[in-house]
A and B are shown apart, each in its own frame.
Chain A
Amino acid sequence: MWLDDGGTVLSSALRLTAPLAFAACGEYLAERAGTLNISVEGMMLSGAFGAIAVGSATGSPSVGLFAGALIGLVVALVHANLSHRIQINTFVVGLVINTLVLGVTSFLTQIMEFSRTQVAVLRIPGLADIPMLGVVFDQRWPFYLLVGVVPLTWYLVNRTRWGLELRAVGENPQAADVSGIKVNLRRRQALMWCGLLSGLGGAYLSVGLVGSFNNNMTAGRGFIVIAAVIFGAWRLKGTMLACFLFGAADALRLALPSLGVELNAQLLVAAPYLLALTVMVLMAKSQREPRALAKPFERGLV
């Protein structure tokens, strides 16, 4: 009995973790390059909308999924050029982009009709029959993209020259600049990756989890992603762990009433934010965040 319940909760936790995990990979990379990107919410929402719009127009949810990722990329292009080319405050840009995307997607949802469209479940034979843990191998197929995306992000940041330059840009842009690295170009590129993956995360939410789009469907998940990167202390492993923790909290909130356990739902919803703030207060002095995080770079004397 509890095995079944455990399996159900685990399965729902995984499903709710995946969108966070995709976007968190992108946000992690962007933050390592020094951009505290708050428009990740807008990128996810636009990806979710684009996926359903294209998926329902072409009849193929898989095409929709990739279109969602591309639309996230477009939003990132806008953000990157405004904040790292003409140097408008990145938070101002992020705030406006979030408002704009929310407005445009809500507007378009009201005037357009979309059919339901959802990607297929990929059940891995054999492995899916394991009691309780088998649910890991019984998910919608984009879920398994995580197996590629997470190691790839880690490899890009930690094992390539590009990633080394990226981290240099996030730690000490002045030094990176004099050694010939184009600081703002690297930051723009990092945002591109963030947009692509956030769009994918949002698309997974719409064509993967739900099969349709509704207003403000990301509902603050982008901000949970930011909390996850902070909670994971700007390391990919920690970030992924945080995503799973927050996904599980969300799953528990949905599952607890049916399991007959009383737990404060508001506390569970607020948990990611509370945890992230606590971690920031406790670890503030250990300086694990990229040193130039959220500091714009302009060439010249400091």
Chain B
Amino acid sequence: MSAPSPTPAPARRPLAAYVVGGMGLRRPGADAWRTAAITVGCVAVAVLLAGLLVTISDGSPSEVVDALYTGSIADAAGWSQTLVNAAPLLLVALGACIANRAGVFNIGQEGQLLIGAMVGCFVALRLQGPGWLVISVALVAAAAGGGAWSGISAAMYYTRGVNVVVSTLLLTFIAIQVVQFAVLSPSLLQETGIGNGPARPQSDSVPEFLRLASFGQYPDLTIGVGVILALLAAVVLAVLLGRSRWGFRLSMLGLNPMAARHAGIRASRLGGSALVLSGAFAGLAGGVILLGTVFRLQPAISNNYGWDGLLVALVARSRPGLAVPVAVLFGGLRAGSSYLAATGVPDYLVDVIQALLVLAFVVPPVLSALWGRRLRNRSAVAETPARPSAAAPAKEEVPV
């Protein structure tokens, strides 16, 4: 027992430390090493399975790896394409991180993204004004659209107790039809048609001066505004979620709603705003896709970015800092998939790889915790043979 010493004032930490904290990089314990080992094993199995698929399609695994590499990170042009794909994935994933932290599982990003793109398109085509203003308003409107769409789910959950997963899921399919309707109605967004060809189910093209700027020329690295926006958002969120009072309250609500309630947190306000915010991020991703790459509203504009972005958040375990490399990885896979055609292997391979990767990162922590508990139980039983009942809480329900 030492005499109580005056606690030194906490030193102010550099910003980088906060970001690292947001990435969840802490001193690894025994469980962390075991998790890492299992993860390596699972990723190896995932790669093997993907290789098996390649082999039965008469492709050569080395060619596939080569194609994926060439399309994604071999040169500056590949990197540009990877980053363009990664930006919307990252934005969606960041939103999913917020909702997951708060314990509300939003799986309707695909729909929220579509609604965001639709609202953004509406603003971009109808609003008159200087380019920078219209672009900003369109992006904000896209975020608001996505947020409103998930806000419906929030309202239904906190007023009527409707399950968030179900409502966000069902609203996605309604959103698809809403967008379909918008691009089929000449009074809303259907293209005005050039000449006398029939108007297709898509909107007019967004004029040149309203497209998101990108820095750099084709053979060199080009970085669009969307990428910068997504990266900035990731840093800000990493700090906010990891270090701010808001982030702490959010985690508290997610980890133990009862304790949060007793600490004076209003679930409807905090959780509801988290859900709205996650929808807003998905909507913003829709706006970025619209003004950054596709330039017109089509029913297929979402291109699974919503679903895949959610997968990114799952692999990153809801940590914004980790979501950045994972989004780049998934974006790279998407970019590389366009080079697969030459190898004769269907580009659906990339979808399979993504799903397997998610499993390979989601299973290990759970498995590791389970094994850790069983190991501890076993050693506890060995040490205290006199009190087996107290030492070994029954666990036969969860055999390995």
Contact = CB atoms under 8 A, between A and B. Distances in A.
Given A184-B397, A270-B173, A299-B397, A86 B355 contact: no
Interface in A87-126: 87-89, 91-92, 95-96, 99-100, 102-104, 106-107, 110-111
A84 to B, nearest CB: 9
A285 interface: yes
A148 B362 CA distance: 39
Interface in A220-279: 220, 223, 226-227, 230, 264, 266-267, 269-270, 273-274, 276-277
Contact of B310 (A88, A95, A223): A95
**Residue from A86, A107, A300 whose CB has the most chain B CB atoms within 10 Å:** A107
A95 B171 contact: no
Interface residues of B, number: 49
Contacts of A217: none
Interface stretch (B76-84, B285-293, B346-354): B346-354
B57 A107 contact: yes
B3 interface: no
Nearest to A215: B348
Interface in B20-73: 53, 56-58
B105 interface: yes
B311 A99 contact: yes
A226 B370 contact: no
Interface in A1-54: 36, 38
Interface size class of chain A, counting residues whose CB lies under 8 Å from the partner chain: 35 or more
B173 A266 contact: no
A136 interface: no
Chain B CB within 10 A, most for which of A106, A111, A230, A269: A111
A274 B167 CA distance: 10
Contacts of B394: 299
Contacts of B395: 299
B351 A102 contact: yes
Contact of A103 (B57, B352, B399): B352
A182 interface: yes
Nearest to B181: A266
B177 A107 contact: no
A298 B395 CA distance: 10
B174 A273 contact: yes
B161 interface: yes
A141 B65 CA distance: 47
A230 B366 contact: no
A103 B351 contact: yes
Nearest to A230: B166
9 contacts: A85-B399, A102-B351, A103-B351, A111-B56, A223-B169, A269-B177, A270-B174, A270-B177, A280-B163
Interface of A: 36, 38, 82, 85-89, 91-92, 95-96, 99-100, 102-104, 106-107, 110-111, 182-185, 220, 223, 226-227, 230, 264, 266-267, 269-270, 273-274, 276-277, 280-281, 284-285, 293-294, 298-300
Can you list the 7 inter-chain pairs with the closest CB atoms, starting with the nearest?
A: A103-B351, A100-B355, A284-B160, A110-B346, A103-B352, A270-B177, A107-B348
